Amino acid sequence: MLNWTKCLSSCFKLGKSCEHKNAGFRPNTVRPKLGFWICYNAQSMQAADDLLVKKRIYIQRDYSNGMAVRFQTRFPNELDGKISPEAFAHTISVLNEKYQEAEQMSCSTYCESCMACLTGYLLLMCIDTHYKKVLKSISKYIDDQNNTVYWPKRILIKDPFESGLRSIEIVIFDDN
C-alpha cells in the first residue's frame, strides 16, 4: 500500500515538473498528443524504478584552483561502510586528472584551435575535438568503475557531463 501511494505521488510530481517545463515553451512543431502520453508513461515507469533508489548524493565542484573542472575529493558520509574511502578518492582523483587533461593548453590543442579558425570553423564539423575525445574516455572509465567497483555494492556513479559538469551524481540503491 505504501509503495503504491509513493509511486502515485512520485508520478504526480514528475507529471507536474514536466508540465512546468512545458509552461513557458511554445513547441516549434505540433506533435500528436499520443506522443506526450507515451513519454508520460515512460516517465512513470522510471518513477517505479526510483523506488529502489535509497539515496542520491551530489559531489560538488571545487573552484579553489580556478575554473578548471575539478570535483571535491571529500568522502561523503552516506557512503560510509559501503565503500572504502581510498577507492572513492582514487576514482575522483582520476576523474579530476582526466578533466585537467581535457582543459589543458598543449601544442596539439593550440594547433587544433588555429586550424579550426583558419577554416572558418568548418573543420569542427568533420573531426572530434580533443575535449570530446577525453570526455568519451571519461564516460568509458566511469562505466568501467561502475561495473567493477561500485555496482557490486549497489552504487552507481553518473557521468557528470549529463548535469553540465556541475556535480557528480551518486545513486545508492537498496540492497535487497
Binding residues for another protein, rule: CB under 8 A, are 13-14, 17-18, 21-22, 24-25, 27-29, 31-32, 34-36, 38-39, 42, 56-58, 61, 63-67, 102-105, 109-110, 112-114, 117, 120-122, 129-132, 135, 161-167, 169
Choose between 42 and 147: whose C-beta lies nearer to another protein: 42
For residues 170 and 155, is the Cβ–Cβ distance under 8 A? yes
Phi, psi angle pair for 169, to nearest 5°: -90, 125
Q: Of the two residues 50 and 90, which places its CB atom closer to another protein in the complex?
A: 50
Helix (H) or strand (E) holding 88: helix 85-103
Tell the smallest beta-carbon distance from residue 151 to another protein (Å).
19
Nearer to another protein, 24 or 81 (CB): 24
The distance of closest approach from Cβ of residue 158 to another protein in the complex, given in angstroms and rounded to an integer, is: 10
The whole-angstrom distance between residue 148's C-alpha and the CA centroid of its chain comes to: 19
